[in-house]
Amino acid sequence: MVSGDGLSGVAENVSVVGKTRSAEEAGLGRSERVVAVRDNGPLKDTLLKNGFDETTYDMVAGTLRNVLNSTTVPVGARLRILMGPSRTSETLIPHRLSIYFPDPRTGQIKHAATAALTDRGNYVLGLAPAEIEFPEEDTEQINVNNLPSVYRSIWETARKHDIDDATTSRIVAMFAYDIDLTKKISAGDSIEILETQKDADGHQELLYVGLKLGTTTRELFRFRTNDGTVDFYDPGGETGKRFLTRRPVQGGGRLASRFGYRVHPIFKSRRLHTGVDLAAKSGTPIYASGDGVVEKAQWVSGYGKFVMLKHVNGFETGYGHMSRIADGMKPGAKVRQGQIIGYVGSTGNSTGPHLHFEIKVNGRFVDPLSVKLPRDKSLSAQYDAAFKQTIVQVRDLMQREPAPVTVAALN
């Protein structure tokens, strides 16, 4: 008999979580640019390229004159430009400008001055904004107005709805393969979670998760195969799992630099950046991207404390700049996907704490964020009918009972 039923005898009570909030309320439309000054020269040139017009420049320069000796800025200075809606036109205007200068001796980047737009439409000297870690490359972060990341949103929503942390971890892990969880949520994004009613021990079983981000919805349904293995599959019968994780650091890190040719921040020459830089606080756990065997766990010139893993099918993954390599990482040791192999640091040629993560296929570097990765597992054809039945049951449960349905925003 083919049983393989994820639902029988469970789903008595249902709780669904999901909903939206308006763009207005969420304060969309603000964005922050972080720009590095590349040539010695007037501040004006850089600002005119980054959202200022002559009039706003003159106003801001007039304000800054009180604290800066000159409006010429050195190479390596950083600008943070917060753009937001104008009250009088449809355009975005600078709401805040902060200038940071590198310390000539230590190279450390220090806040020098901030000018901020007031309600009356003029600029005054402002406080330094909340600290950030400066990216190696210029960035623009859209919708900075305190909108949380997808990762944070899932956690906060789950906590609000008394979903236990183990289940939330599982949900986050399932989506982490395919979705950039560090992205900010947008208006209309939502999550739906279906669980069984608590049993005598207070245990609940997760049956379904649907995550809607923008126009795409990812759905995962619980299903048990004949060997007793319980897993989550999309409607096509595939697990969300991948053979390798693309951002193998707790929380996913902040993408500070992509794969490809760039001007190296230290050597100033154009060279291939062989991986991605995922910025995270020093000490953040780094995970094995996939099941494999330790090939190297040692200091490597440039990479600092470095771990390299060998996987099947000619794949290798490398992890650089660690503050510490985890215990037990010796060549030949087996690791499982998700196992902690080290901690984020800034050893070797590095300008700040981040994980340099690279993937090689048959000895050649590939872009970790876009390389095609084999799916880990899909449901075999013998389960087609039973799995379809499960999907129908879940959808029915979600629509049938209005009473136990809870609705909440993903934020």
Single-letter code of the amino acid located at 307: V
Q: How many residues bind Zn ion (CB under 5 A)?
A: 2
Burial class (CB in 10 A: 0-12, 13-18, 19+), 146: exposed
Measured CA to CA, the distance from residue 73 to residue 101 in angstroms comes to 8
DSSP 367: -
Residue (18 or 253) nearer to Zn ion, CB? 253
The whole-angstrom distance between residue 330's C-alpha and the CA centroid of its chain comes to 30
Task: Find the farthest-apart pair of alpha carbons in the chain and give their distance in angstroms, rounded.
Answer: 83
Considering beta carbons, is residue 94 or 368 the nearer one to Zn ion? 368
Task: Check binding of 184 to Zn ion (CB under 5 A).
Answer: no
Closest approach, Cβ 320 to Zn ion, in A, equals 7
State the residue number with the nearest CB to Zn ion: 356
By CB under 5 A, the residues from 66 to 105 that bind Zn ion are: none
Q: Express the helix, strand and coil content of the chain in percent, nearest 5 each.
A: 15, 35, 50
Give which of 197, 202, 155, 160 is closest to 175, Cα–Cα.
Answer: 155
Closer residue to Zn ion (CB): 311 or 356? 356
Q: Taking a C-beta distance cutoff of 8 angstroms, is the pair 112, 127 a contact?
A: no
| Per-residue three-class SS string for 314-354 | HEEEEEEEECEECCCCCCCCEECCCCEEEECECCCCCCCCE
Which lies closer to Zn ion via its Cβ, residue 36 or residue 116? 36
Cβ burial of 166 (10 Å; 0-12, 13-18, 19+) is exposed
Report, in Å, the least distance between residue 295 CB and Zn ion. 19
Least distance in angstroms from the C-beta of 36 to Zn ion: 16
CB of 311 to Zn ion, least distance (A): 20
- Give least dist CB 248 to Zn ion, A: 14
First to last CA, the chain: 44
Of residues 224 and 356, the one with the C-beta less far from Zn ion: 356
State how far the Cα of 109 lies from the Cα of 100, in Å rounded to an integer: 6
Nearer CB in complex with Zn ion: 233/303: 303
- x/- track of binding to Zn ion for residues 352-371 (CB under 5 A): ----x---------------
Q: Closer CB to Zn ion, residue 246 or residue 356?
A: 356
Minimum CB separation of residue 313 from Zn ion in Å reads 24
Q: Which is nearer to Zn ion, 102 or 253 (CB)?
A: 253
| Region 271-290 residues binding Zn ion, contact defined as CB under 5 A | 277
Report, in Å, the least distance between residue 349 CB and Zn ion.
Answer: 9
Element (H, E) at 260: strand 260-263
3-state DSSP assignment of residue 61: helix
Which residue stretch of 79-87, 287-295, 349-357, 390-398 sits at the interface with Zn ion (rule: CB under 5 A)? 349-357
CB of 153 to Zn ion, least distance (A): 28
The contact set with Zn ion (CB under 5 A) reads 277, 356
